[in-house]
Structure 1
Amino acid sequence: MADRGHPPAAVSLPDDWPAHPDLSLALNRMGGFDWNLDSGLVHLDGPALEIFGLRPEEFDGDPGTLLDLVPNGEAARLKALIAQALKEGAPSYGAYFRIRHPDGSLRWTHTQAHIRHEAGRPRRIIGIVRSAEEELAEAALRSDVDEGRRRLTGVVGRTTDLLARASSMDDVIAVLKDEQALGQLKAVSVMLGVIEGGRIRLVCEGRLGAYVPELRYTRIDERFPMSDVVRTQRPIFITSWEEFRSGYPLLWPHIERLSVGSAAYLPLTAQARPIGALGLLYPRHGEFSDDERNLLIALSSSIAQSLQRAMLYEQEHDLAEGLQQAMLPRRIPEVPGARTAVRYRSARMGRSVGGDWYDVLPLPGDRVGLTIGDVQGHDTDAAVVMGQLRMALWAYAAEGHPPPTALARASALLHELGTDRFATCTYAEVNLVSGALRIVRAGHLDPLLRHTDGTCHWIPAAGGLPLGLSTEFTRPDEIGYPLTTGVLGPGETLLLFTDGLVEQPGTDLGERLDVLKEKVRTGPADPTELADLLFDELGQESGEDDMALLLLRRDAAGPVRSPVTGRRSADGAHRA
């Protein structure tokens, strides 16, 4: 530290300090001009002439000579700017424009000028011109960076929005392949692996068509990028072929034949638990920028949350669907004197399942009971209530109760269960010898009858309130369901179905019922083939509700008794 008691040592200064303004302007590629508006002549100093690419002998002071060096459109814009400033009495103006140099190149230039007024009139324009090439190059670079950030931000927004609506593994995979989502990252392939036990199962293999069977399942302790990120829970960024070759020799033979120069592998973690890994392959070589790395890490977090939600949805749906299937008949019993066919499809709304059911009940006296119904709601509770109602109706019918009583008792039971659910149902009994038909209906759609010649008509069965609701207005011992009677002739077919088969969002139910009627009229007579046709065609057009149908065709000969044993032989057919 200098001694405070002594003055600082004298410092010698250069002879040309401080720099003359002309030197400061020249060193910073700036030149000056003075435009005398009375004479119309322009004076350019040396640096200004250099910026315009002119030698002193090449410039005669005519401003038109300078404008000839500016592209036509920009020259017109510059003249208009100056004219407006002079007309409005502005004190100054500034503008960017390009100058064409002798080598033919165009170089950005900026001018800033002050307008001097005397006696209320503009008399001189004094200003500077400077090279703006580096300045605009930096601005363009910043603009490219900003544009890249906006693109990456758009990728995050689009992908996050799509992932928020994903409710299955297929939905998540569709997002990974969406061109407006991760497709904007310029990756040529996107891979998704999920952890199953001690292995990683590849569920999405990207867009390169590079399916490798031996990599479908890999162990977590093997030397693969996905295995590494699962073990370490840290992303891996590979920037060259050499890194692939040296770091992952087991993977390299499969990468070498692809147009891939770099890759990003990211762990998928949800609730502090690894559930999988994401891999993205790029055609380019080189490092990933900080913005790209941060973006991919953020996206991996969103994908992990969506993937976990989809996996939980599918597990819950499988559980609920398994419960629902357990509540439905394991098999349809053979019915001598008739052919039956049933079809069922569970709801397609994420983890939801519905309460649709069907049943075929062989009864004494050559009779058969048919039930079809739909419990309100799409959850496991609806499936449980459906099973209870199905078994109750089976028990009441087996006890010999007539259809109205069986339905009334089922309605009272549903009320006593203490659930807030209600159910629609149709119960029909057919005597396969006489063809006598008895129908009761609780808020359900009417049955459809097909005659032997193919003509069809709806059976206008009298109906009561849905099961469970009737008890709200009537004492259990007073519940009544009107009985509709008719005849099912030999070779005629009775169709019972739930509304999921015909309902379609945005379409009138009456129109859909007409479509069903026409399909039945023109369809095959065999119940099995007709059931297939209705499910294949109408089932694809319907909404996301579950659906069920039950077909019974009375044989022309009816039940046949053996002359030896007296027992009926069975020639019916059914298929669940």
Structure 2
Amino acid sequence: MNGRPPLAVLSVLTSAPRAGDAAQRDLARTVTGWLAGRLRLLGTATADADRDRVRQPEEQRSGPWVQRALHTARIGAWEWDLRGATLTCDDQAQALLGFEPGSFDGQVNTWLGAIHPEDMPWVQAVSTAEALRGRSEYSVEYRVRQPDGAYRWVQARGTVAARTDGVPARVVGTLWDITETRRSRDAFSRALRYMGDGFLVVDEDGRITFGNIEAERFLGASGELRGQVLWDLPRARAIGVEPRFRRAAAARAPIDFHARWPRSNRWYHVRLVPVPDGMTVHITDVTDRRALDAERSAAAHAATERATRIAELTSAFAEALTTQDVVRAVADRVLPPFGATGLICQLIEDKRLRVVGATGYSDAFLSFLDNIPVPPEAPLHTPVVQILGSRTPLFISSPEDYAKRFPEVVGYLPLSAKKAWAFLPLVASDHRAGYCVVSFDRPRHFSDEERTLLTAISGLVAQALERARLYDAEHTRAQELQRGLLPRTLPALPAVTAAARYLPAGEGMEVGGDWYDLIPLSGERVALVIGDVMGHGLSEAATMGRLRTAVHTLADLELPPDELLTHLNDLVGALGDDFYATCLYAIYDPTTSVCAFACAGHPPPAIIHPDGTVHSPGFSPDPPLGAATPPFETIEVQLPEDSILVLCTDGLIESATRDIDRGMAYLSRILADALARTPDLLPRPSSTGDGGSAVDEGDGRVLGQLDRLCDTLVATLLPEQSRTQDDAALLVARTHSMAADDIASWRLPDAPIAAGEARHHVRDQLGAWQLDELAMTTELLVSELVGNVVRHAKGPIRLRLLRSRSLICEVSDGSPTTPRIRRASDTDEGGRGLQLVSALSHRWGTRFTPTGKCIWAEQPLPAG
């Protein structure tokens, strides 16, 4: 640069990653020097436009590398003196304009005469001094005539040099041959012009600079599109182009949207793409594509829906336990995807077809189908006979098709009220289980896909029904076992009148371990028991049976409630870590009207008093059996005559939305409401007039009232649709106190004279009760029992007689040692007292008391 400041930078881009060779670098330096000279001349012309002329340095103008480079690039140089209207061109520029080198006379008119007539208007429009005023650049493309008469495209570009007053003085520039470029551009323009999609080029103000035929058709333009504002056109305005155009221009990001032209009802996809100086608009008719997409989407949705239904069906079959569960699953998940309206499932039992489930058919038609013989015993050729014989599905598309195939039974078609059928045999493990038929209200053509799918479904149905049938049989046996372990009837006892209910869990649930019991004890006392083995299944039901037996055994030992639960807790704990049970054990003594309760993790009882009030004793929350740590809490409650005890398991009062506490509160409200609606639930017993304690005439009536109360509680607390989670047990008992006239009690001295006094008391009391027939036997029993106490135990000694269904004689003392019968030899003087007691009484036994023990013996009352 010879120490001068730089004027510009020339960048040469090559496709090769490496630098050029020495010759190429020399060429680049030569071209750079030539361009620098041109730029300096331009600066001189600007400073003094009237004096300076553009002169090419001699050493550059004559340099072979410059000439070779310009010739290769087909670039010519020119200078236009606007004041003198002369045009100076180098040899390359003259050749590009169609003149022989040196033949151009430098006149502007000569140059204009070489331009194609069609291009003349816009070339003249931009080539006047007025047009160049205020501009620094000059650019125009046009065609020039060649010596052979052909035309080529050239591009003239230059820099405008102005005087100090702003008037353009000269233009210095270059001339390029762009014929090939224009040909490519024209080909591209023709492609755009006739392409199938609409295409527009719009400037920054929204004016259309190019629009192809499809765009003109879409916009419905009656004239030339070029120059019109896009959103002034009605169709463009109707689809909201302007706001989207402005958003795309502001964001410099493409915007896509779909629009429907109402008149043609066709859909178009419009894409706005920002470009320098404007926007391109792409318009594509997507009506057919949308229709195809919609069709494919509908088909895909149908396939997905069907696959989902099959998956749901498979899942439902996996969860289905009973036959009815399977039939419901088929009705809910097979019929809707196919648009079917009817279903019949028949299974083979004892060589006959039994309807196990149906929907969409009349009862009369189902009655006709039920219990028909299985082929080959079937007398007629029917679709069922055919599919069970061949074990292949049968598809009938219309009543005409049915009549053609099975003319013998066509008369039954009106009764079925169906128009198309898919008869599907049910075969599981190579065993004919039955069949199912899917039917339709309209004639239907079954596609290959539907036939394949229904055939596959029939296999799933067959396996599910086979499993369900085995479950039904097993469940029935389990329920029979469970019911066999529960009391068949409750004993009729003087102290209580009781009613009970057991409700198995909802359909599909396994058997449970809830139980209840009413156990007679000595002295007319009664044990009331209710319990729940946690879990469901045969194992739990068997455990319930073991616990019930254990409770009976322990109750016969006359253990108090807390001790009985302690032994029961040991038993449950020995069964394993996975076994737990809850239990409520109560003993009611009619002689004192006191009821003692002990509870292990069980809901407390509800007590209904004769005045209609309801309350529950407060228990500390003891854990269930198997997890509890004794001792258990015992609560004693004084019960007025005609009180009602309500004992239940958690399955009756607890649910997913109701815990135990809320359930007990709800139970109390229901009992209060039931008593308010039915006051006679608490009747007063009528006296028998003979001093007896049983309300004989009212027993049946009281039991009926208790049964109604049980039904009310069950219907309210556990409606039919809610029996799905747990089984439930309910025990309701009305208490009867023993009349004071039926109880006689004496304190005896702790001395040998006690036996005599006891005989005297017995003789007098039995005379008062008009039971003289029992006096001798009773005196002998009392004498032996009292004598045994005096000889082997310690005081205080008490004698008590109870008149009830039998005559009960009780002797109590202060010793906890219980007597036992032992075998006496022929020479023994003693040891035969208890043998005598056992022989003279109907039954006898011993029980512990808080102060010692009690030995008792019962004798039946005389008839009449």
Q: TM-score, normalised to structure 1's length?
A: 0.73
Distance 1:143 1:449, change over 3 A: closer
5 Å matches for 1:57-456? 72=235, 76=239, 142=296, 144-178=298-332, 182-209=335-362, 211-212=364-365, 213-221=367-375, 222=378, 223-249=381-407, 251-257=409-415, 259-348=417-506, 350-417=508-575, 420-456=578-614
Counterpart residue number, 1:492: 643
Runs of 4+ in 1 over 6 A off after TM superposition: 30-45, 59-64, 77-90, 95-100, 107-112, 129-140, 559-567
Q: Does 1:536 align with 2:715?
A: yes
Give the Å deviation of 1:172: 2.6
Give the Å deviation of 1:534: 1.1
Would you say the 8 A contact 2:268–2:287 is kept in 1?
no
- CA deviation string 1:31-57 (max 9, x = no partner): 999999999999989xx99x99x9xxx
Would you say the 8 A contact 2:509–2:724 is kept in 1?
no
Distance 1:40 1:422, change over 3 A: closer
Helix, strand or coil for the counterpart of 1:177? Answer: helix
Kindly provide the amino acid, as one letter, of the partner of residue 528 in structure 1.
Answer: D
Identify which range, 133-142 or 420-429, moves more after superposition. Answer: 133-142
Structure 1: any 5+ residue segments left out of the alignment? Answer: 1-29, 101-105, 474-478, 571-576
Q: Does 1:522 align with 2:703?
A: no
Identify which of 728, 734, 738 aligns with 1:547: 728
Would you say the 8 A contact 1:219–1:227 is kept in 2?
no
- Measured in 1, the distance between the counterparts of 2:295 and 2:556 equals 83
Distance 1:419 1:209, change over 3 A: same
- Measured in 2, the distance between the counterparts of 1:346 and 1:31 equals 74
Kindly provide the amino acid, as one letter, of the partner of residue 504 in structure 1.
Answer: S
Kindly provide the amino acid, as one letter, of the partner of residue 412 in structure 2.
Answer: H
Would you say the 8 A contact 2:593–2:638 is kept in 1?
yes
Query: Aligned residues: percent identity?
Result: 29
Distance 1:75 1:324, change over 3 A: same
Kindly provide the amino acid, as one letter, of the partner of residue 344 in structure 2.
Answer: M
Kindly provide the amino acid, as one letter, of the partner of residue 527 in structure 1.
Answer: L
- Measured in 1, the distance between the counterparts of 2:208 and 2:557 equals 121
Would you say the 8 A contact 2:208–2:225 is kept in 1?
no
Kindly provide the amino acid, as one letter, of the partner of residue 340 in structure 1.
Answer: A
The structure that has the greater radius of gyration is: 2
Counterpart residue number, 1:509: 660
Would you say the 8 A contact 1:336–1:559 is kept in 2?
no
- Measured in 2, the distance between the counterparts of 1:151 and 1:483 equals 62
- CA deviation string 1:65-108 (max 9, x = no partner): xx9xx995898489999999999999xx9x998897xxxxx597
Counterpart residue number, 2:829: none
Distance 1:464 1:239, change over 3 A: closer
Helix, strand or coil for the counterpart of 1:281? Answer: strand
Kindly provide the amino acid, as one letter, of the partner of residue 484 in structure 1.
Answer: I
CA RMSD of aligned residues (A): 4.8
Give the Å deviation of 1:236: 0.9
Helix, strand or coil for the counterpart of 1:434? Answer: coil
Identify which range, 383-392 or 180-189, moves more after superposition. Answer: 180-189
Structure 2: any 5+ residue segments left out of the alignment? Answer: 1-194, 675-680, 683-704, 743-768, 775-802, 807-864
Helix, strand or coil for the counterpart of 2:411? Answer: helix
Kindly provide the amino acid, as one letter, of the partner of residue 349 in structure 2.
Answer: E
- Measured in 2, the distance between the counterparts of 1:74 and 1:513 equals 72
Would you say the 8 A contact 2:351–2:374 is kept in 1?
yes
Distance 1:556 1:192, change over 3 A: same
Helix, strand or coil for the counterpart of 1:170? Answer: helix
Helix, strand or coil for the counterpart of 1:335? Answer: coil
- CA deviation string 1:484-536 (max 9, x = no partner): 32322211112222111111113232121111112223324332222111111
Would you say the 8 A contact 1:440–1:463 is kept in 2?
no
Would you say the 8 A contact 2:423–2:436 is kept in 1?
yes
Distance 1:254 1:446, change over 3 A: same
Give the Å deviation of 1:381: 1.1
- CA deviation string 1:305-346 (max 9, x = no partner): 433343333333222222111111121111124211111112
- Measured in 2, the distance between the counterparts of 1:61 and 1:196 equals 86
Kindly provide the amino acid, as one letter, of the partner of residue 547 in structure 2.
Answer: L
Distance 1:79 1:303, change over 3 A: farther
> Aligned residues, how many?
514
- Measured in 2, the distance between the counterparts of 1:334 and 1:486 equals 23
Distance 1:454 1:227, change over 3 A: farther
Helix, strand or coil for the counterpart of 1:353? Answer: coil
Give the Å deviation of 1:560: 10
Kindly provide the amino acid, as one letter, of the partner of residue 355 in structure 2.
Answer: L
- Measured in 2, the distance between the counterparts of 1:515 and 1:464 equals 22
Helix, strand or coil for the counterpart of 1:176? Answer: helix
- Measured in 2, the distance between the counterparts of 1:463 and 1:109 equals 73
